A = this chain, B = another copy of it.
Amino acid sequence: MWVNKKIEDIMHRTHTCGELRITDLGKTVTLAGWVQKSRDLGGMTFIDVRDRYGITQLTFNSEDDETLRSHARELGREYVIKVTGTVIERSSKNAKIPTGDIEIKVSNLEILNESKLPPFTIEDDTDGGEDIRMKYRYLDIRRNPVKNSLLFRHKVTQEVRNYLSGLDFCEIETPYLIKSTPEGARDFVVPSRMNPGQFYALPQSPQTFKQLLMVGGMDKYFQIVKCFRDEDLRADRQPEFTQIDCEMSFVEQEDILNVFEGMTRHLLKTIHGIDVEQFPRMTFEEAMRTYGNDKPDIRFGMKFGELNAVAQHKEFAIFNNAELVVGIAVPGAASYTRKQIDELTEWVKRPQVGASGMVYVKCEADGSFKSSVDKFYDQEDLAKWAEATGASAGDLILILSGPANKTRAQLSALRMELGNRLGLRKPDEFAPLWVIDFPLLEWDEDTERFHAMHHPFTSPKIEDMPLLDTDPGKVRANAYDLVLNGNEIGGGSIRIHDKDMQALMFKHLGFTPEQAQEQFGFLMNAFQYGAPPHGGLAFGLDRLTAILGGQETIRDFIAFPKNNSGRDVMIDAPATVAKEQLDELSISLIAPKN
A499 to chain B, nearest CB (A): 9
* Interface flag for A356 (CB, 8 Å): no
Q: Assess whether B4 is in contact with A80, with CB atoms less than 8 Å apart.
A: no
Q: Is A194 an interface residue (CB 8 A)?
A: yes
The answer to whether A559 and B213 have CB atoms under 8 Å apart is: yes
Q: Which residue of B lies closest to A433 (CB)?
A: B1
The yes or no answer to A137 lying at the interface (CB within 8 A) is yes
Contact B209 A173 (CB under 8 A): no
Determine whether A528 belongs to the interface, using a CB cutoff of 8 Å to chain B: yes
Point out which of A171, A228, A559 has the most chain B C-beta atoms below 10 A from its C-beta.
A559
In the complex the two chains form, is B584's CB within 8 Å of A590's CB? no
Q: Which of A343-380 touch B at CB < 8 Å?
A: none
CA gap between A121 and B250 in the complex, in Å:
23
Question: In the complex, what residues of B have CB within 8 A of residue A202's CB?
Answer: 176, 190
Within the complex, what minimum Cβ distance (angstroms) separates A551 from chain B? Answer: 17
Size band of the interface chain A makes with B: 35 or more
* Cβ distance A281 to chain B, nearest Cβ, rounded Å: 6
Are A177's CB and B562's CB within 8 A? yes
Q: Which of B32, B140, B254, B593 contacts A583 (CB 8 A)?
A: B593
Q: How far is the CB of A67 from chain B (nearest CB, A)?
A: 23
Q: Does A592 contact B (CB under 8 A)?
A: yes
Chain B residues lying within 8 Å of A112, measured Cβ to Cβ, are: 497, 532-533
User: Which of A391-399, A409-417, A565-573 is the interface stretch?
Assistant: A565-573
A102 contacts B by Cβ under 8 Å: no
B192 touches A113 (CB 8 A): no
CB–CB A218/B576 < 8 A: no
Contact pattern, A 184-211, Cβ under 8 Å of B = 1, otherwise 0:
1101111111111111111000001100
Closest Cβ of chain B to A560, distance in Å, is 5
The residue in A2, A230, A233 that gathers the most chain B C-beta atoms within 10 A of its C-beta is A230
**Residue of A522, A528, A568 with most partner-chain B CB within 10 A:** A522
Q: Does A44 contact B (CB under 8 A)?
A: no
**Stretch of A7-15, A325-333, A439-447, A467-475 at the chain-chain interface:** A7-15
Q: When the two chains form their complex, are residues B232 and A575 in contact, meaning their CB atoms are under 8 A apart?
A: no
Central interface residue in A79, A173, A498, by most chain B CB within 10 Å: A173
- CA gap between A417 and B219 in the complex, in Å: 41
Most buried by B among A136, A257, A529, A586: A529
In the bound complex, residues from chain B placing their C-beta under 8 Å from that of A522 are 570-572
A340 interfacial by beta-carbon distance below 8 Å: no
A281 to chain B: which residues have CB within 8 Å? 1-3
Q: Given A52-B219, A180-B575, does the pair A138, B212 have CB atoms closer than 8 Å?
A: yes
- Contact A573-B116, Cβ < 8 Å, known A1-B280, A586-B589: no
Task: Determine if B583 and A590 form an interchain contact, defined as CB atoms under 8 angstroms apart.
Answer: yes
Q: Is the CB of A278 within 8 A of B530?
A: no
Contacts of A89 in B (CB 8 A): none
Q: How far is the CB of A285 from chain B (nearest CB, A)?
A: 12
0/1 interface trace, chain A 248-265, chain B, CB 8 Å (1 if under): 001110110110000000
A242, CB-defined interface residue at 8 Å: yes
CB distance from A483 to the nearest CB of B (A): 13
Q: Quick one: given A7-B258, A191-B189, are A177 and B239 in contact (CB under 8 Å)?
A: yes
Asked if A508 is at the interface (CB within 8 A of a chain B CB), the reply is no
A179-B571, A199-B574 given. 9 additional CB < 8 A pairs?
A: A11-B250, A50-B217, A51-B217, A113-B530, A113-B532, A138-B216, A138-B526, A142-B217, A586-B590
